[in-house]
Structure 1
Amino acid sequence: MSNFTLSDLERLIAERAAASPEESWTAKLLAAGPERAAKKLGEEAVEAVIAAVKGDREELIAESADLLYHLLVVLRARDVALQDVLSQLEARTAKSGLAEKAARPR
């Protein structure tokens, strides 16, 4: 079992963001702007959905990794820390998902 965490990935993305766009996909993606990073996130989300629908476990694992990576790149592009997202998730655990969803403003 791996000890690699999303926090580790967030740190790695921060390191690679400081590199030259010619040397790092992360830096290149961030240099293209938040819109480009968000587009890639959307593409990866669709690919993960397709893998899930097909029932292809290995493809779903690979696409999920791509999805998580691109989500963290988008968060970095918009200066949102992973901890902020985790805090939001933690706050939502105080009640059931159905109750939490019903309480959201429409």
Structure 2
Amino acid sequence: MNNSAKSGSGLDSALAHLADVVDQRREAFKAGQIDPKTSYTALLFSKGDDGILKKIGEEATEAVMAAKDSRQSQLAAEQQKRLVGEMADLWFHCLIALSQFGLRPEDVIAELDRRLGTSGIEEKAARKATGQE
């Protein structure tokens, strides 16, 4: 399932494109141009911060369960496909949250870039020292 050809700017552009669509739907919802009864994205935005964040929690739980199942199953390829699908759902809902809070996937990628080459333990300690954790 690993496709190393889709890395770097390809990944960035795919996320940016999807984020553009999400942002357009958010704006159309706010302008009353799309109905939550006919658009899942509009439905999510209609639920506000709490509804969007609750959905991320649900999707994260489903991704965790799919990951655990992929290790315990004799049907590994099928379970890996399910895990990829659950991760896609989680990433999509995270894009909804980013849009809701006026952020973009590029902001997350910039933060990941900033952390490259930094020990995770050191980075976590630095956040704790500055009260960011």
Q: Deviations over 1:6-64 (max 9, x none)?
A: 11110111222213222211011101101101101100000000000011211101100
Count of residue pairs brought into register by the alignment: 106
- Give SS of 1:79's match: coil
Which has the higher relative contact order, 1 or 2, with Cα contacts under 8 A spaced 6 or more apart? Answer: 2
Aligned to 2:126: 103
Letter in 2 for 1:83: E
Larger Rg: 2
Q: Does 1:62 align with 2:71?
A: no
Structure 1: runs of 5 or more not aligned: none
Aligned to 2:105: 82
Identity fraction in percent = 38
Aligned to 2:15: 6
Structure 2: runs of 5 or more not aligned: 29-33, 71-78
Alpha-carbon shift at residue 73 of structure 1 (Å)? 0.4
The one of 42, 54, 59 aligned to 1:27? 42
What TM-score do the two structures reach when normalised by structure 2? 0.71
Alpha-carbon shift at residue 96 of structure 1 (Å)? 2.2
Instruction: Please tell me the root mean square deviation across aligned C-alpha atoms, in Å.
Output: 1.8
Taking the aligned partners of 1:68 and 1:59, their CA distance within structure 2 comes to 14
- Farther-moved stretch of structure 1 (37-46 vs 84-93): 84-93
Letter in 1 for 2:51: R
Aligned to 1:37: 52
Taking the aligned partners of 1:16 and 1:29, their CA distance within structure 2 comes to 10
Taking the aligned partners of 1:50 and 1:31, their CA distance within structure 2 comes to 28
Taking the aligned partners of 2:84 and 2:108, their CA distance within structure 1 comes to 22
Alpha-carbon shift at residue 72 of structure 1 (Å)? 0.6
